[in-house]
Structure formats: structure tokens, C-alpha cells
Amino acid sequence: MSYCPACNGIENISQNCPSCGSLMEDKGRWFDYFDDYSAYMPINTMKLFDGIQNDLQQETCPHLLYCENCHNDSVILIQEQK
């Protein structure tokens, strides 16, 4: 069983905004924002429908990053650990 080090508080994501250079904020798993119930669905099930190719097979966790300065957002993939 794999786990995401960012979701579990082991690592902090630190990435600068490609638009303005400000530090972006990790808003958590990208698919938790799909609807009211997606945060309660099994993670591996959500990976089948999140539109990211091979994130289940490659054991990556998609995280939404948001820049409060310019309102830019992006999704990055965090490598899960065993």
C-alpha cells in the first residue's frame, strides 16, 4: 500500500508560481474538489476518473497548487511512498 507524503504531512510542497514567482499554496488532492463527495471516495477509485493518465499505476498523487497573488493554479504529481 502506498501513501502520499504530502497528504500525510511528511513533506511540504514548495513551488513558485510560474506566472508571478510567488510561493504557491498546496490545496490538497486535486480530485477532492470534483464534487461534494469526492473527498470521501477511495483514492484509487478517484484515480481511475481524474483524467490524469497512469497516476494509479505510477503511484502518484495529484495535488492542486494555488497562487493567492495572481490566482494561478496548477496540478502537480507527488510520488507516493511505500
Q: Which amino acid is at 63?
A: H
Question: What's the pTM?
Answer: 0.90
pLDDT of residue 1: 76
Q: For residue range 52-68, list pLDDT tens digits in order.
A: 999 999 999 999 999 99
Q: List, in sequence order, every beta strand (DSSP E) within 1-82.
A: 25-29, 60-66, 73-79
Burial of residue 27 (number of CB atoms within 10 Å: 0-12, 13-18, 19+): middle
